[in-house]
Structure 1
Amino acid sequence: MRIGGLASGIDTDSIIKQLMQVERQPLDRFFQRKQTVEWQRDAYRDMNLKLRTLEQSAASIRLRSSLNTRVAQSSNEQMFTVTANSSVQNGTYEFKVDQEATKTKNISAGSITDKDSGIKFSASAKLNEQNSAIGDVSEYNGKFSITTYNSNGAKKEVEITIDTSKSLNDIMKQINDSDVGVRAYYDSAYDRVVFERKDTGEFNGKVIDGENRQIIFGGDTGFLNNVLKIKQENEQAGQNAIVEFKNPVFGNNEPIKIDNSRSNRITIGGMTFDVKEPTGGEFQSVTVSSNTDDAFDKIKAFVDSYNEIITEINIAISEPRYRDFPPLTDEQRRELSEREAEMWDEKAKSGLLRRDPTLSSVLTQMRNDLYTPVATSGQFNQIAQIGITTTSNFQDGGLLEIDETKLRAALQDDPDSVHQLLNSVASTELTSVPKNSRTAEQRREIESQTGLVGRLRSTINDSINQIIGRAGNENRTNQQFTLGRELISVDSQIDNFQRRLAQIEQRYWQQFTRMEQAVNQANAQGNALMSQLMGGM
């Protein structure tokens, strides 16, 4: 604590504070610069979030299924359900399920617990502690094997160790964790064990007793046979699905029969059927019709998102910059009312991204992406052909508008061509060439073959990465982006200047202290002289 002016009567503290206010003005400008850079960084990051939202909106219409306007309805959804892709023509088809695909199973021939004992068996308790329920199992500490064959006919085999000091669940876990494709479990309600293939259908197996067995047991099977009551001959073989399909275009008397599907999900002519149970020998109808609502809504949502970001960018790069309104210092903010400070901040934050080259570039490139024709095999190669055009008012800055009637007609008549226009992919012969090695002609050809959505997503991602390089994101430190490094530099300047201010303030106090000492010495001399004069009178 310093106290000045005791000898001179001067308010030293007030004088030094006023002197330091003048000295501190460059420091205020450093803090204002830091605040401006932080605001600019946040403005860039906010713009990146909006660009990412647009990229996600574009991605939502990337898949063919997202623009599929075909709706398929089964006449009996308890027996099968159906979906149709955009290539299926509207009309009524017929479908019959002769047999559903099933899993191979082998179930205990009877209860594994001795009912007379009155003891309930537990699959999680040690086997050798449940003799009353399942009998003495001490003789079954051996090994048995399970063999299966996969869809390619390759043999799969696992050897299971029986340790009666462990639980039945421990033994079955060895099976379930193996790659033989078999699941084993104990059903306490029925008091039986079930072995089943994880996949439906008929697989290659081994002929045993004249039957094609698909879960083959080998080795020491005494535990399986005597304790779990699993017998090889009790296997219920899995079977393939058998279905028939009629397309009226080719005549209802020429059904297609499929009898080799291991799965209950079967695709025929662009329609995917999920079989649940046989149709009782009768054909059921499948009605395919158009519903453009979902596809239209997704495209409209994308256009709305595009218009929103276009508006945001246009505002950001044309917003006026008020250089006479720098960020407020803490002292200046205390002198203003809350409303005055808020209005000042609005002016100070205005124009932070004015004429930003990255944002101006993405704006121009996105327009080019949308308006450049796409090389497709469909009937549409320009966005205007499906009813999406720019507004007639040039002051809108390139906003899009939708002719709903035209877009719905395109989606209903040829959704596949709409998908090609939006989502075509360049040939792998071109894209397999490293970017740095591509010729100008190859780059133009890739651009021509790439759909509008792909072009936009590429442009947006490139711009996002450029902005991250300038303004960073939550995963980057200040050293890793341009504005962050500028903040580090400003912080360093602030630290250096604050040390300098401390030295200046110290110097002022030293100067005033020396003045006080001189005044005090003069006062002492004056008092001594006065005393001598008074003494001589």
Structure 2
Amino acid sequence: MVMRIGGLASGINTDEIIQKLMSAERLPLDKMNQDRTLLEWQRDGYREIYQKLEEMDRYSIYEMKKPSTYNSKTVTSSLESAVTATATTSALEGSYSIEVSKLASSAIKVGTDKIGIDPNKALDEQGVATGKVYFNTFDVETNAMKQREVEIEAGDTLKDVLKKISDDKTNNVRAFYDEQSQKVIFETTRTGDYNQGGEEITFDSDFFNSTLKLQGAVEVGGTDAEFNYNGVEFTSKTNEYTMGGVTFKFNNVTEPGVKVNLNVEANVDQAFDQIMDFVNKYNELVDMINKSQTEERYRDYKPLTEEQKEGMSEKQIELWEEKAKSGILRGDTMLTSGLFNLRETWYSDVQNGGQYNVLTQVGISTGKDYLNGGKIEVDETKLKEALKENPDDVFKLFVNNEDGDGRGLINRLEDSIGNMMKGIEERAGKSTSTLDNYTLGRRMKDLDTRISNFEDRLLSTENRYWRQFNAMEQAISRLNNQSAQLLSQFGGGM
């Protein structure tokens, strides 16, 4: 570090002079920092578009590829307290009549008496032997009762043992202690009669029979649901039953002779709303890309240096940077061609063998105003009519996962969005990308190297200026000393 002598001999404001000299020297550095900031803004602009594309691809396109988007069904029930239902796209429209005579229930056994042990203290301290104990539950795979085991370890409480039983999902039971009745309860985790009228839970060990008072406990429940569907008797292990794409849920038994009528109808409004949600998301994407290509570019507004920011308020900085960022991606050929490809997606015919081969047949178009970037416009009446008359062919127009002329419009859009995302990722990377992994990052890294080298040069230049001024100060100081000596000599001889 060069010693800095600030005008002691000359009286010159050396600091101010060198500061001004260095301001001129720093102009190329300011330009490089501004260039790097512009690259960061461009990268961030690309990433905002990338994020919008990713959301479109991950959520909106995903929803548009589901058959239920185009062929939603609604089921109404005349007695929802007893039976409700949902329908898939394959369900036929029409009426269903159901009477529910019995609900499916889980099997349960409750101890015959209060247990004589503290459920929160170690069992071995209460005289209960450690080791394995056994009980049985019905196994569907072998179609027979299967012995289950649980080990009582030293220090285990009753609650610990019951938790081990419940945590083992293969047991198909949950076991717990009821604080109020002070009894142990075993209950199957599934509804239905699996043992054809026999017991679902039995006990082999004295620990369960005597200690937990479960010997002689009467099993309750373990029944199948029983219902009459359009005059035919059916049973179900659970309180749900699916047939013909309709899933019926039994909430309660019906009064004798009372029938629940359920009607399955196409829900055109729901299908329309789901498609409109996609349209709105797509138009937001087009607006964002189109704006990046049409907003004005203020070339006189360069990124501010730190020195410039010091003399400005936060609001002034915000307004300045708003103009400086405007049009930062304008004229980008990757984005303009990508926008063109998105628009082009909707024009081609789809040779799918269905009723609808072009988008306009279902009331959707990209509009007449080319300047809007190809936003989608919807004829509500025409789209709802198509969804009502032939939702399956509307689906085939949008979704047909094959190559060539038969490829669906949504599949083609997915391809275009994927290509755009790939191009942006190569240019601007992701939030997790290093500078080496994308084009703008490599340019920023190059600028970082140049900036670092230039800062080293500036330091050398500043030190050189100080050495020169220090030399001047020293020369003036010597001259002053010589002058003083001469004056002193002349003065002494008079």
Superposition TM-score, scaled by structure 1 size: 0.80
Unaligned runs of 5+ residues in structure 1 are 115-120, 131-136, 206-210, 247-254, 427-443
Counterpart for residue 437 of structure 1: none
The CA deviation at 1:534 is 5.1
Question: Which secondary structure state, in structure 2, belongs to the residue aligned with residue 160 of structure 1?
Answer: strand
Output aligned runs, 1:291-306, within 5 Å.
Answer: 291-306=267-282
Q: Deviations over 1:43-75 (max 9, x none)?
A: 122222322333323334443334443221111
CA distance in 2, matches of 1:381, 1:263: 44
- Do the aligned residues in 2 keep the contact of 1:317 with 1:354 (CA within 8 Å)? yes
Question: Aligned residues: percent identity?
Answer: 38
- Tell me whether 1:524 sits opposite 2:481 in the alignment: yes
- Do the aligned residues in 2 keep the contact of 1:213 with 1:237 (CA within 8 Å)? no
Counterpart for residue 124 of structure 1: 120
CA distance in 1, matches of 2:474, 2:326: 54
- Do the aligned residues in 2 keep the contact of 1:43 with 1:353 (CA within 8 Å)? yes
Output aligned runs, 1:216-295, within 5 Å.
Answer: 216-218=202-204, 221-231=205-215, 234-236=218-220, 238-246=222-230, 255-259=231-235, 261-282=236-257, 283-295=259-271
Which segment drifts farther, 356-365 or 156-165?
156-165
Q: Deviations over 1:67-125 (max 9, x none)?
A: 443221111122211112334444332122243322233333x22347xxxxxx65333
The CA deviation at 1:181 is 1.6
The CA deviation at 1:335 is 5.6
Match 2:441 to one of 484, 505, 511: 484
- Tell me whether 1:22 sits opposite 2:29 in the alignment: no
CA distance in 1, matches of 2:487, 2:155: 114
RMSD, aligned α-carbons:
3.2
- Do the aligned residues in 1 keep the contact of 2:64 with 2:275 (CA within 8 Å)? yes
In structure 2, relative to structure 1, the CA distance for the partners of 1:487 and 1:203 (3 Å cut) is: same
CA distance in 1, matches of 2:109, 2:375: 65
- Do the aligned residues in 2 keep the contact of 1:386 with 1:410 (CA within 8 Å)? yes
Q: Deviations over 1:4-30 (max 9, x none)?
A: 333334333332222212211111111
The CA deviation at 1:286 is 0.9
In structure 2, relative to structure 1, the CA distance for the partners of 1:145 and 1:343 (3 Å cut) is: closer
In structure 2, relative to structure 1, the CA distance for the partners of 1:11 and 1:167 (3 Å cut) is: closer
Counterpart for residue 431 of structure 1: none
Output aligned runs, 1:414-429, within 5 Å.
Answer: 414-426=390-402
Question: Which secondary structure state, in structure 1, belongs to the residue aligned with residue 31 of structure 2?
Answer: helix
Output aligned runs, 1:306-385, within 5 Å.
Answer: 306-334=282-310, 344-376=320-352, 378-385=354-361
CA distance in 2, matches of 1:374, 1:101: 49
In structure 2, relative to structure 1, the CA distance for the partners of 1:151 and 1:96 (3 Å cut) is: farther
Counterpart for residue 438 of structure 1: none
Counterpart for residue 177 of structure 2: 186
- Do the aligned residues in 1 keep the contact of 2:78 with 2:261 (CA within 8 Å)? yes
CA distance in 2, matches of 1:278, 1:355: 69
The CA deviation at 1:170 is 1.9
- Do the aligned residues in 2 keep the contact of 1:53 with 1:305 (CA within 8 Å)? no
- Do the aligned residues in 1 keep the contact of 2:386 with 2:394 (CA within 8 Å)? yes
Counterpart for residue 117 of structure 1: none
- Do the aligned residues in 2 keep the contact of 1:186 with 1:192 (CA within 8 Å)? yes
Q: Deviations over 1:122-166 (max 9, x none)?
A: 533344667xxxxxx647966224243125748754222346963
Unaligned runs of 5+ residues in structure 2 are none
Counterpart for residue 162 of structure 2: 172
Question: Which secondary structure state, in structure 1, belongs to the residue aligned with residue 106 of structure 2?
Answer: coil
In structure 2, relative to structure 1, the CA distance for the partners of 1:147 and 1:341 (3 Å cut) is: closer
Q: Deviations over 1:431-488 (max 9, x none)?
A: xxxxxxxxxxxxx34x834x43344345434533443443334333444433333333
Counterpart for residue 134 of structure 1: none
CA distance in 2, matches of 1:335, 1:293: 58
In structure 2, relative to structure 1, the CA distance for the partners of 1:195 and 1:332 (3 Å cut) is: closer
CA distance in 2, matches of 1:484, 1:499: 23
Match 2:366 to one of 390, 414, 428: 390
Output aligned runs, 1:457-496, within 5 Å.
Answer: 457-496=414-453
CA distance in 2, matches of 1:99, 1:376: 48
- Do the aligned residues in 1 keep the contact of 2:5 with 2:470 (CA within 8 Å)? no
